Each structure stands twice: as C-alpha cells, then as structure tokens.
Amino acid sequence: MIKNRRSFIVGLKSTILQVKEKQFLKKYKPWGIILFSRNIKSIVQTKKLTDDIRKIFNDKKYPILIDQEGGRVNRLNNLIDSSNFTGEFFGKLFKKNIKKFNVYYKIFINQTCYLLDKIGVNINTVPVLDVRRKNSNNVIGNRSFDSKPKIVSKIGDYFIDQFHKNNIATVIKHIPGHGLAKVDSHKSTPIVKSKLKDLNKIDFLAFKNKKSLFAMTAHIIYQNIDKNFTATHSKEVIKLIKNKIKFKNLLISDDISMKGLKFSIKENTIKAFNAGCDLVLHCNAKYGEMITVAKNSPKVNAFITKKTSQFYKILR
C-alpha cells in the first residue's frame, strides 16, 4: 500500500473533502495530509474528514499531520484554548520545578494526544527545538523552550517519548535550527552568518540524536555552510543534518509555498528532493499548486517505505 504513494504531503481546503480533492488523492496518492484550523470545526466533523481520507487509501494508519504546539500555534483553537501553554512556559517550569514540570507537561501532552486521537491525527509537528537567541525574529520567540541548547534538548527528548507512549509520532523542527533568524521565513529568506563552531555548540546541538521519526527543515541560508541555498534546498546542510546532527529518519521540508524559498513551486519541489529531503510539504490547498507538487514528487522509495512501517508500529 505504502509503495504506491508519492513523496509529498498536502493540505485541504475546508472541513469536508471536496470532489476534486477526492479525485486528486485517488490519482496522485500523497504520502500524507496535513490539517489546519480551517479544516477543524468540531471533533465529530474532523473525525469524519480523517475517516473519509483513510477510506480512499484503505489504510487505518494513513499519515495525517497537524501543527499543534500550544501557545499561538494552536490548530485546535475551535476545540480547546491552549494559548497559555507556550514552549517558554514549559521551559521556565522545567528550570524552576522539575517535579511540577513533569506533572504539568504530562497532563498537557496527554490531553493534546487524546484530542488528536479523537479527530484521527497521528503525527504532530512538534517539538520546536529551535534555541531562543537575542535579537531573533518573533516567528520563534516563545515557541522555543529556552536559550540553553541542553535544556531544549532534554525537554525535546521527554516530549518525543511521551508522544510515542500516546501512540502519536512527532516532527522535530526546524532542523538544523531557526533561532538565529532575523526575519520570518514565511515572508522572506533568513540568512544566518554565524560560524559553524558556534552553530554546532548551540543551535545544532539541540537537535542531536533525537528519536523522532520525522524532522522538518528550516528555510534558512546558513552562509558558512552554503551561501546560495536554504537548508531545505542545500545538499551540504542536509548532509550535515544526517552526518553531524545524526538525524537518520524522514526529513520533511517546511511548507514549500512559503516566501522564504525564492523559486517557483515546481522548482521548490524538485530542489528539495535533489538536496535530500524525503518528503515535501505543501500547505495552502491551492489546487493548481498541489498538482504541480504531485507531478514533481517521486514515488516513495525503499527508505521511506521502511521508515513509514516503523511509524506504523508506534500507532495503536
């Protein structure tokens, strides 16, 4: 079943599957689907949507993702208010009172996973392992756990472990580190000029040796590694992610319709695969763009098939 799919993930327009979206899913067979607030009105409605998607693929474990961090990134805002529970909130609690942190965070994660399970989501694109830096753009800000990489790393490990215990997979982001970005990669391309030595000691360290089955790339140019291309499009940066940061699982591009990538949707897709991304993510549900992504995405290879099988073992 997995072998027939293509190596991309797309968003959907609304709270129900449109006729042309059904046709699209049947024809192009994306590896997975990502949901946003626009797709979620109630638990019952969302569960019907995810059931309808899975019926097309005849796969009860078909990958359905969401970006549910808490704080301001809250796709379940129609179901629950988690605006107070930012990464920074939990980071401060971790430093102040580790016992209290363990209790609070476990409850928060269990509650999040309970809701995700109820609506049929099996991958959450968390945790944010970007290290907070001075003067960095607010696109990360309080989404980050802390300014110390070891604290970010420890909370990240706990987070991944707890999600796996709840039968939901995680996506660490934005690898190899978004903390130094001075602009929002949704709007333009951040350029990081720091030396590799500093990046290794701080930003990259937070991502090292993580057990997450998925990671999401940063649309950032790391000037001292690759002057021309963002991490998503850079063979050099992706080589570093795999060899130095030792991430050995599936690499998903961040949304290729973001303005941090400077090429056409077609080129953004092709360049991401050529650089070494395993899966390409496209979020805005614009039908013409979705077709372009689909047509330029290869069928899943043996590595993706193997890792998807590992992911299925996490699930109930």
Q: Which residues pair with 279 in a beta bridge?
A: 252
pLDDT at 128: 95
Tell me the pTM. Answer: 0.96
pLDDT (average), residues 192-218: 96
pLDDT at 243: 96
Packing angle between helix 149-165 and helix 87-96, nearest 10 degrees? 110
Q: pLDDT by residue (tens digit) across 272-281?
A: 999 999 999 9
Q: How far is CA 24 from CA 52, 111, 265, in A?
A: 14, 33, 18
Distance CA 29, CA 63 (A): 12
pLDDT at 258: 95
pLDDT at 78: 81
pLDDT at 1 over 80: no
pLDDT (average), residues 184-194: 90
pLDDT (average), residues 124-131: 96
pLDDT at 36 over 90: yes
Find out whether the peptide bond into 233 is cis, omega within 30 degrees of 0.
no
pLDDT at 141: 86
pLDDT at 84: 87
Q: Using DSSP, state whether 251 is helix, strand or coil.
A: strand
- Which helix (H) or strand (E) segment holds residue 119: the answer is helix 98-119
Which residue has 């990502």 as its token pair? 34
Query: Which of 85, 26, 3 minimizes the C-alpha distance to 294?
Result: 26
More confident residue, 134 or 234: 234
pLDDT at 101: 96
User: Average pLDDT of the chain?
Assistant: 95
DSSP-derived secondary structure letter, 299: B
Distance CA 120, CA 191 (A): 38
pLDDT (average), residues 286-311: 98
